[in-house]
C-alpha cells in the first residue's frame, strides 16, 4: 500500500497519542536505541565497533537527547564517543547524564579521524539554516565520499525544513537519516540531502492522522505500481485494454511525436493512435501505430496526450481546444501547456479527468509565479485552483489532485534530465490513463517506471531520451517481477 509521509504537526499528534510512552520517556529510549543500532550496523560494515571513533554535534531539546542517549549506547559497546554541546546549559539532562556515565567525552570541537558523526542539532521543529556554531563543526569535516566520516542525522538533517523539504544554506548533508514511526515529508522532498532513510518502529501510529490538512503526501511502492499496471486478461482485446491518442510533433520536428508515441506503445498492450503531420515518421518507427493527419480521421480513443512538439500557433490552439472540449481524459504537456497558460479557461472548468505535466518553467507560466521552495504546496495549490491534476516534474516528481492528496516519486537520480524525456513520460502516463487509471495514479506510476527506465538505460553513463524509451519495457518487467504480481 502507498507509504504515507507526515508533517511535523502530524508526528507530534501521533506522539502525544501514545500518552505514557511519550511522557515516561519510552519513545526517546526506543528512538535513541534505533539510532545506535543503525550506527552499529554502519561500523560493523567497515570493521566492527570496538575502538572506533564517533562524534556528535548536539543541540538543545529532544533531538539532542536522542543523540546523547545513542552515543551512550555506543560508548558501552567500546566506541570512543565525543560530543560537542552547542548549548551546554540546555542539553537534555537525562541524555547528558547517560552519556557521561558511559564514559563519553565532551569537547569544544569535533576531533579529527572520526569514523562517523551523529547530527543531533535540531529535529522536526528546526527552522532555517544551521547556526554558525553548528555549521562550523560540520564544515571541518570532509565529505564521506572523499574519505570523511559518514553523517547520521537524527530525524532530519539539520537545516532541512520538515514539511517543505527546503534545504537551507548551510544544512547538513546526511549519509543516513534515522527517523521514527513514519517518514516525514522532507524525507521525500529533500531525498538527496537525507541520504538513506531508516524508519525505526517506536510504537507510534505509523500512518498518522488520516484527516489532516492538505496537502497530504504519499508514495506508491513498487508493489503498488505492479498491481496497477494494466496487463491483458483472458477476455481482453486491443480496444478493452485502452486506446490512447497522441497529438505531438510535426513534420519538421518529428522527435517528440516518435518519443511520446513510442512510450505509449511500450507502456501497455492496448492500441495507440497518432494524429499529426509526423505520421509517416511515427509509423516508420512503430508500424503498429494507427496514424492519421487530422482529428477528423483519428478514430475512437479513450484518452488523449496532447502537446509535445505540436507548436503554439492558431492551428495548434484549435486542436487543443477541440480535444479539451471532449469528455475524455486528457494529458497536456509541453507546447500544450504554453497554450493553456495563455488560455486557462480551456482547463479551469473542465469536468473530465485532466493531467497537466509541467516542469518548473512551465509551472511558472501556468501559475504566474515561480515554484519556490515549497514544491508540495505549489503543485497542490495549482491543482486545487484549477481543479485538475498537476504532475510537477523533477527528480522528485509530485502528482497533486484537486482534493489535496499528492503522490510523490523519487527517481533516485537525475539521469532523466535530458531533452525529450518528458515526451516519454507523457506517453507512458497517457497510455495508463487510457487503460482506466486516474490521472493521479497514472502520473505517479508512470513517474516510477520512467525513473527506473532512466536508471536502467544509464548505468552510470549519460543517456538520451531514445535510450530511456528503449528501457521502458525492461523497467515495467523489472518492477512486476520484483513484486508479488510478477
* Residue list, annotated binding site for K(+): 63, 119, 158
- Give dist(CA 274, CA 424) in Å, integer: 14
| Pick from 376, 371, 378, 380: nearest CA to 403 | 380
| Pick from 354, 364, 298: nearest CA to 325 | 354
- Give dist(CA 446, CA 440) in Å, integer: 10
Binding-site residues for (6S)-NADPHX: 62-66, 123-129, 155, 256, 309, 359, 423
- Strands 53-58, 80-85: pairing kind: parallel
Binding-site residues for AMP: 393-397, 422
Sheet with 290-292, edge to edge strand ranges: 3-5, 216-219, 405-410, 396-400, 389-392, 354-356, 330-332, 303-306, 243-247, 271-275, 290-292
> What burial letters (b/e) apply to 53-73, b meaning 16+ CB within 10 Å?
bbbbbbbbbbbbbbbbbbbbb
- Give dist(CA 357, CA 363) in Å, integer: 9
- Give dist(CA 111, CA 173) in Å, integer: 19
Binding-site residues: 62-66, 119, 123-129, 155, 158, 256, 309, 359, 393-397, 422-423
> Contact 261/248 with Cβ under 8 angstroms?
yes
Q: What angle do CA 95, 97, 98 make, to 5 degrees?
A: 65
- Give dist(CA 180, CA 204) in Å, integer: 8
214 CA to centre of own chain = 17
Amino acid at each position: 500500500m502507498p507509504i504515507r509521509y507526515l508533517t511535523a504537526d502530524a508526528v507530534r499528534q501521533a506522539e502525544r497519542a501514545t500518552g505514557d510512552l511519550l511522557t515516561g520517556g519510552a519513545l526517546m529510549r526506543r528512538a535513541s536505541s534505533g539510532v545506535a543500532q543503525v550506527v552499529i550496523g554502519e561500523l560493523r560494515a567497515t570493521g566492527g565497533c570496538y575502538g572506533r571513533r564517533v562524534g556528535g554535534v548536539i543541540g538543545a531539546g529532544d533531538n539532542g537527547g536522542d543523540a546523547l542517549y545513542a552515543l551512550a549506547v555506543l560508548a558501552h559497546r567500546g566506541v570512543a564517543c565525543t560530543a560537542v554541546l552547542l548549548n551546554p546549559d540546555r542539553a537534555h539532562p537525562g541524555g547528558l547524564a547517560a552519556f557521561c556515565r558511559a564514559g563519553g567525552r565532551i569537547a569544544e570541537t569535533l576531533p579529527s579521524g572520526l569514523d562517523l558523526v551523529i547530527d543531533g542539532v535540531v529535529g522536526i521543529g528546526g527552522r532555517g539554516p544551521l547556526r554558525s556554531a553548528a555549521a562550523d563543526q560540520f564544515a571541518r569535516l570532509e565529505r564521506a565520499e572523499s574519505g570523511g566520516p559518514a553523517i547520521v542525522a537524527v530525524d532530519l538533517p539539520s537545516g532541512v525544513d520538515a514539511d517543505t523539504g527546503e534545504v537551507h544554506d548551510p544544512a547538513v548533508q546526511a549519509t543516513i537519516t534515522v527517523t521514527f514511526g513514519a517518514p516525514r515529508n522532507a524525507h521525500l522532498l529533500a531525498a538527496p540531502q537525507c541520504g538513506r532513510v531508516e524508519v525505526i518502529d517506536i510504537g507510534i501510529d505509523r500512518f498518522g492522522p488520516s484527516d489532516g490538512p492538505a496537502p497530504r503526501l504519499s508514495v506508491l511502492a513498487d508493489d503498488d505500481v505492479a498491481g496497477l499496471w494494466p496487463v491483458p486478461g483472458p477476455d481482453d482485446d486491443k480496444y478493452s485494454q485502452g486506446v490512447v491518442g497522441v497529438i505531438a510533433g510535426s513534420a519538421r520536428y518529428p522527435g517528440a511525436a516518435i518519443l511520446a508515441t513510442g512510450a505509449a506503445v511500450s507502456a501497455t498492450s492496448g492500441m495507440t493512435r497518432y494524429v499529426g503531420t509526423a505520421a509517416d515518421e511515427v509509423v516508420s518507427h512503430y508500424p503498429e501505430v494507427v496514424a492519421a493527419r487530422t482529428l477528423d480521421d483519428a478514430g475512437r480513443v479513450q484518452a488523449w496526450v496532447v502537446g509535445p512538439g505540436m507548436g503554439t500557433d492558431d492551428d495548434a490552439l484549435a486542436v487543443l481546444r477541440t480535444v479539451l472540449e471532449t469528455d475524455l481524459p486528457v494529458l497536456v504537456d509541453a507546447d500544450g501547456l504554453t497554450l493553456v497558460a495563455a488560455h486557462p479557461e480551456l482547463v479551469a472548468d473542465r469536468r473530465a479527468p485532466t493531467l497537466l505535466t509541467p516542469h518548473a518553467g512551465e509551472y511558472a507560466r501556468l501559475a504566474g509565479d515561480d515554484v519556490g521552495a515549497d514544491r508540495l504546496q505549489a503543485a497542490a495549490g495549482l491543482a486545487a485552483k484549477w481543479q485538475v491534476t498537476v504532475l510537477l516534474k523533477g527528480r522528485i516528481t509530485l502528482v497533486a489532485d484537486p482534493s489535496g492528496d499528492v503522490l510523490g516519486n523519487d527517481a533516485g537520480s537525475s539521469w532523466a534530465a535530458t531533452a525529450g524525456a518528458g515526451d516519454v513520460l507523457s506517453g507512458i502516463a497517457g497510455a495508463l490513463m487510457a487503460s482506466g487509471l486516474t490521472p493521479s495514479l497514472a502520473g505517479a506510476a508512470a513517474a516510477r517506471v520512467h525513473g527506473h527506465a532512466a536508471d536502467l538505460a544509464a548505468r552510470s553513463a549519460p543517456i538520451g531520451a531514445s535510450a530511456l524509451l528503449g528501457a521502458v519495457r525492461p523497467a515495467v518487467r523489472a518492477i512486476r517481477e520484483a513484486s508479488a504480481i510478477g
